[in-house]
Chain A
Amino acid sequence: MQALEYFAIAWSDPALIGLVALGTFAGIYIGAIPGLSVTMAASILISFTFSWDVNEALCLMVGIYMGGVYGGSRTAILLNIPGAPSAIATALDGYPLAQKGEAGAAIGLSTTMSFVGGAIGIAVLAVAAPAVSEFALTFQPRDYMLLAILGILLVGSLSGESLAKGVVAGALGMVIGTVGLDPLTAQERFTFGVVELWNGISFIAVMIGLFGVSEALAQLHHLDLPKVKQNVGRIVPGWGAVRKYLPLSLQTSSIGVIIGALPGAGGDIAALMAYDHAKRVTKTPEVPFGQGAREGLVAPETANNAAVGGAFIPMLTLGIPGDAVTAIIIGALYIHGLNPGPMLMISQPQMFWFIVGALSLANIFMLIFGLTGIRLFARIVEMPRGILIPLILLLSTIGAYAVNNALTDVYWMLGFGVLGYFMKEYGYQVGPVVLGVILSRMIDENWRRAIISEQGSLAGFFAEMLSSPLSLALFASVVLIVLGQTPLWPKITGAFRRKPG
């Protein structure tokens, strides 16, 4: 009963409802504009909310996240340019549908299915998170350390060009996260005698630089792309269409939630896996996949929105972000004095149910805004990049400055923006850097706690790890991910395959 009360907080305060609506609206449009990703929007906008009440800040963030994941699908369908990485799979069949003049139907179906996926993701979050957090209370420091490492490795290996590049990025992020005074002993680390570095490098500046500035610079390559216009007809889908794809959407939503809940893996990977699943289970599509199959639209759209609820599970129960946006939200929670993890669920259950409430509200707003306002949408999306990019830079600068009122943060943002640009050009992912910065402290502290409890004995540490099923499973996953990317892997699997023969 208490839970329901907390759940209803966001629903009963007009100001909070307004903020969720504003966030969702902004998320949809920002997500839809190619070059403006939801991660970029969240990282820039979050800096303005630090002085707000935590509930208000969360409402805006949750809305941006939900809307942004969905928004990317529109430009994927209309222009064949995914507005966000999570909409890459949507373009595969969405654009062919638009070419056939069925853009309206495609948008309508993707909106409704995103709503279904979002709702399932939230439901799973509400049911699973309390159980997971109870289980998480039994986690040892080494388990947290392993989970955090697993998260960084997953991001590095699943989305990048190679695991080695992912590790370079993740390790760089971890080192950046240690800059400043050591939280346990106040020893200086990487400060080079500069007092300004004692508090470390502002992770907001790192984030805005890597996600905002570098992306804006990269967009300059595409300044001269011609504009494409599309006519959109009726978009509210019929009940028959929704019912027809419901079974598939339930399956792909489950994929979305599970992938979203894996630390580090988010909507983009969930969408691609769901698309692949739909391809395998749909034996006789009306139209072949890749040429406008509706199943190919339903699968990624349900999965990426279901991944939103999923990504909140490890974030709220373990303090480990499910993807880049939840990494940003964790950073915001820290600044608001909250410590995401199993204790948050116990000491402040209202926070958890409040987030679930705000997410459900955002999901409804997504449906409403998604099925309306198509004309306004066309105007905003067609805004020339020559105007858009300077505006992004202006916002990024205000955002980086606003957190500490320090120009140094603006310089950090610029520096990381340039670094991020080169990283992207040469096939390195910037996501692991940000995840590394966020998780650095968790790994550092838990490692030291674990090794101190073993009186500094590495053998004791490993013996404990191998005797706990959970630690063993986590350790095995870390080893498998690393091995899976080395030339040794084909040999190992080859040997296993040969044996039975």
Chain B
Amino acid sequence: MAEQRRKRPGEATFAILMLLVGAFLTWQSLAIEGEMTLSSPAAFPLAASVMMTFAAGIVVAKTLRMPVAAKGLAANARMLGAQILPLRIVIFAGMIAAFAGLLGPLGFLPASFLFLFAAIQFLWRRHPAKTLLLTLVALVFAYGLFRLAFQVVLPEGIVPEREIIAWVESLFAGEN
């Protein structure tokens, strides 16, 4: 039976977290202003969050009944690190978070350059010159396709892109 598989490390904690989120959302639905009737704005959110809490409760009960992944806190933490959160994933997630954080202050081009270079070097592990070349090619392609062809607005940051684009355009205009 599917239920008889071993619990994955952290699975029970996650199930309990979902239950808590459900309970919190239920409490918040009750806090939605206005009279509580079947057609009030709070009715559907309340029904959905109660449903979530109820189902999450069943999941918690089922998960707690599963055979444990490992005995002891230290062994569990080791398994969590090996199976669910290997260092590679944690570091990479950190890189994405840093990328998102730098996107505003630095702008798309420098932040993406730093992220791509660091991430590809970290995951692909080849000579940095190779990574640099690849990063530049990818960045030129992404910028050309999305910013120039699709006209997607990207965070500008420290690179005065608009001025540069205008300057390049004026060069071509001057030639004609």
Contacts and interface: CB of A to CB of B under 8 A. Distances in A.
A and B part of one assembly: yes
Interface of A: 48, 51, 161-162, 164-165, 167-168, 171-172, 174-175, 178, 182, 184-185, 187-190, 213, 217, 220-221, 223, 384-387, 389-391, 393-395, 397-398, 401-402, 405, 407, 410-411, 414, 417-418, 421-422, 425-426, 436, 440, 443-444, 447-448, 451-452, 456, 458
A51 B151 CA distance: 9
B89 A390 contact: no
Interface in B37-56: 37-39, 41-45, 48-49, 51-52, 54-56
Contact of A164 (B28, B55, B155): B55
Given A387-B124, A398-B146, A167 B52 contact: yes
7 pairs of A and B residues whose beta carbons are closest in the complex: A386-B124, A171-B52, A386-B123, A390-B119, A167-B55, A182-B41, A174-B48
B32 interface: yes
B175 to A, nearest CB: 28
A185 B32 CA distance: 12
A175 B48 contact: yes
Nearest to A385: B123
Given A220-B88, A385-B123, A418-B93, A398 B44 contact: no
B6 interface: no
A305 to B, nearest CB: 28
Given A426-B11, A426-B15, A387 B152 contact: no
Contacts of A447: 39, 43-44
B138 A401 contact: no
B155 to A, nearest CB: 7
Given A220-B89, A401-B154, A448-B44, A394 B142 contact: yes
Interface of B: 2, 8, 10-11, 14-15, 18, 21-22, 25, 28-29, 32-34, 37-39, 41-45, 48-49, 51-52, 54-56, 58-59, 62, 84, 86, 88-89, 92-93, 96-97, 99-100, 103-104, 108, 112, 115-116, 119-120, 123-125, 134, 138, 142, 146, 150-155
29 contacts: A164-B59, A167-B52, A167-B54, A168-B22, A168-B56, A171-B55, A172-B21, A175-B29, A178-B48, A182-B41, A187-B41, A189-B41, A189-B42, A190-B25, A217-B89, A221-B89, A385-B123, A386-B124, A387-B120, A393-B99, A395-B142, A397-B103, A426-B8, A426-B15, A443-B44, A448-B43, A451-B43, A456-B37, A458-B38
Contacts of A220: 86, 88-89, 92, 123
Contact of B34 (A167, A185, A397): A185
Name, among A171, A188, A223, A444, the residue most crowded by chain B CB atoms within 10 Å (CB to CB).
A171
B33 A162 contact: no
A407 B100 contact: yes
Nearest to A450: B39
Contacts of A384: 124
A458 B38 CA distance: 8
Most buried by B among A175, A385, A414: A175
Contact of B96 (A393, A401, A407, A444): A393
A320 B18 CA distance: 27
A196 to B, nearest CB: 15
B124 A175 contact: no
B24 to A, nearest CB: 10
Contact of A386 (B10, B100, B120, B146): B120
A390 B123 contact: yes
Nearest to A173: B48
A188 B8 contact: no
A389 B8 CA distance: 25
Contacts of A389: 92, 119, 123
Nearest to A448: B39
A456 B54 CA distance: 25
A414 B97 contact: yes
Nearest to B134: A387
B123 to A, nearest CB: 4
* Most chain A C-beta atoms within 10 Å of own C-beta, residue among B32, B43, B86: B32
B114 to A, nearest CB: 11
Given A221-B86, A386-B124, A390-B119, A402 B59 contact: no
A164 B62 contact: yes
B176 to A, nearest CB: 26
A398 B152 contact: yes
Contacts of B11: 426
B139 to A, nearest CB: 8
Contacts of B116: 390-391, 394
Given A168-B18, A426-B14, A414 B134 contact: no
